[in-house]
Structure 1
């Protein structure tokens, strides 16, 4: 399969059935800024991104609850092999819990960044509205 030329375009909206667990953050979601320092998003897209990152954090929190079962697995028997197997399983579950906590924090951080961007967007809108309202009314 050939790789298409050009910039990849991702359709807006998170597909939970996708292999990728992270919402797309590029492509058609934002227009590249001229100096290459980021993307420009409209207000609706910012709201959608906040919701998608928060939803992803909630999914990871649900996974974290399930990972706790692995981290606290009990051995099925009292022999050495069962106990050792449970200890290794507990270590694996603990590592999984740590990874999920990092992912939750990352998703929450991303949502916070988009909320901050929404605040800047609202401030810019208010400023533009006040400048327009200060203009003389009617034809001069």
Structure 2
């Protein structure tokens, strides 16, 4: 395990063979009071995109899992029927798990969208404060 804080690396695919992680990106600096982390706007947008993309991958997997959940026995004998039922049960369990993962990813993306809203509100507030200051010396 590498030493130090983990780094958020937008677009990095840890499963890619011989691919070094891109430079830059981080989980953010810990806030002094320990209340969480802060992100810049670009990182928030990237996180929303990555969570939405992951949710879509799980949705695609649900379509494929549907084939497992509809498995038919290869023959008309007892063993084939029981085996097909077990396969269908596994497929249904897989679909349930994938739907839970989609919901989780969407919830995470939504949290970052809310953070982007807060970011925009803070930017607007700062702009208003600057504009309200008297100009000149």
Q: Is the 8 A contact 1:71 1:91 kept in 2?
A: yes
Aligned counterpart for 1:130 among listed residues 123, 128, 131 = 128
**Pairwise mapping of residues 82-121 of structure 1 onto structure 2 (< 5 A)?**
82-121=80-119
In 2, the alpha carbon distance for the partners of 1:14 and 1:107 equals: 18
Change (3 A) 1:33 1:4: same
TM (norm. structure 1) is: 0.86
Which structure 1 residue ranges, 4+ long, deviate > 6 Å from structure 2?
none
- What are the superposed Cα offsets for residues 55-78 of structure 1, whole Å, 9 maximum, x if unpaired? 000000000100010011111111
Structure 2: tracts of 5 or more residues without a match: 17-24
> 1:22 maps to which residue?
none
Structure 1: tracts of 5 or more residues without a match: 19-26
In 2, the alpha carbon distance for the partners of 1:121 and 1:92 equals: 43
> 1:23 maps to which residue?
none
Q: Is the 8 A contact 1:75 1:83 kept in 2?
A: yes
Aligned-residue offset at 1:10: 4.1
